[in-house]
A and B are shown apart, each in its own frame.
Chain A
Amino acid sequence: MKRPIPTAALILYVLLLALGLGIGSAYAVLKGAPPFGARSFGPWHVWPKLGSAEADPYMRAIVARRGDIPLATGEGLALTALVDNSGRQLDSACSYRVGSSAPAARWWTLTVYDADGKLAPSELGRNGFTSPEILRDAQNGFTISLSRALSAGNWLQLPPSGPFSVVLRLYDIPGAAGLSMNAEDLPTIERLECGA
């Protein structure tokens, strides 16, 4: 006949399980992007409540862990793209065309970051464009080329290698624009060709 497992051992097992799973899962979630409240527009992702008093506890914990200061709702909105229009991860070995319109805002900036979220050194010392400085075509649209090699027009140099991300920041947007935005207003990210 089998001896019963001591109750003390079971209690220890319960506590270890609770601590291990609880803290482990919390750590795993907080390492990534906020799990709730994301909105997607084509390749762009945005957490409209990140910079508001209604941010959920996950958002607050993730902002604290990153040491980030999100744009407040009244200041603007930051949209992040990690993939192109077809859903493929943005890769520095490829070249991309970004355009041609942006939602209504007082001004916007579009910035390229490397895989660590840093501004990669570029030959022209430029990592982004702002809406006033960008060159536009006759229809008031714009095209930004993202590539490793020099290109004409609005060109941003990609980091030497690896994945990268693009952040579009819309500053001082009209009241409910964050909620009524749709994918057609946002620039598309088209992959052109992939070199070595």
Chain B
Amino acid sequence: MSNLTRILLATLCGLVLAAGVHIAAVFMAPSFAENDAFGRLQDTLAEDQAQIISPPGGGATWLPLPDPATAVAACAFDLSDGPVRVTAKTGQDFLSFSFHTKTRGVFFAVTDRAAIRGELELVVMTPRQLDEARAAEDPNEPTRDVRIVAPQEQGYIVVRVAAPYPSERMQAEEAAKAVSCTVDEDEDEAS
């Protein structure tokens, strides 16, 4: 084989491999990102209340393109400690929950339209925890819990509360901070 053929062949191999490296890099990027939302929310893992990440009115935030008319709060979760129960009191204004995994994006979202008597309560669990909870359940007394299965053990919950008027900002921030995310002990003991 002449040198030219060898170089051409090597370049072709390089290009094919480069495509593979490109795909691998894109797929692995979320796992290696340290400044992503999950990485920045590590401090909230131990908290029982959602922490404000973007206050209404445009305060300091790391969130890109923050909406000044909403209060955004979040809490990270790790389901290896047990299912996570998230509870919010809803009012007149828009409130929404979105559930994100560490690397695979959004897996569920719900707004205050789904609230029952001014309260929105959901339990996030792994498929295994769901099986356990079902097995432990009394068939005569079915639970009222709204259960959501998370595709990954680690993730975070984001709550957005509307403040359509500047005068409602304080109230929205308080409502977002009042959201509780606690590890559900009861489900574990019941099994």
Chain A interface (Cβ < 8 Å from any Cβ of B): 2, 4-5, 10-11, 13-23, 25-27, 29-30, 51-53, 55, 57-61, 63-76, 78, 106-107, 109, 111, 113, 117, 119, 125, 127-128, 130-133, 167, 169, 171-172
Contacts and interface: CB of A to CB of B under 8 A. Distances in A.
Interface of B: 3, 6-7, 10-11, 13-15, 17-22, 24-27, 29-30, 33, 35-37, 39-40, 53, 57-58, 62-70, 72, 74, 94, 96, 98-100, 103-111, 113, 151, 158, 160, 162, 164-165
Nearest to A52: B106
A55 B13 CA distance: 31
Q: A interface, by DSSP: helix, strand, loop or mixed?
A: mixed
Contacts of A65: 29, 33, 35-36
Residue in A10, A22, A111 with the greatest tally of chain B CB atoms within 10 Å:
A22
B75 to A, nearest CB: 13
Contacts of B151: 53
A58 B130 CA distance: 31
A169 B72 CA distance: 14
A171 B162 contact: yes
Name the 8 nearest CB pairs between A and B, nearest first.
A22-B21, A17-B14, A18-B17, A72-B109, A74-B109, A21-B18, A61-B29, A72-B98
A2 to B, nearest CB: 6
B15 A17 contact: yes
A132 B168 CA distance: 12
Contacts of A169: 67
A14 B33 CA distance: 28
B103 A69 contact: no
Contact of A74 (B3, B67, B111): B111
A27 B162 CA distance: 35
A14 B18 CA distance: 9
A72 B10 CA distance: 45
A169 to B, nearest CB: 6
B106 A26 contact: no
A55 B105 contact: yes
B6 A10 contact: yes
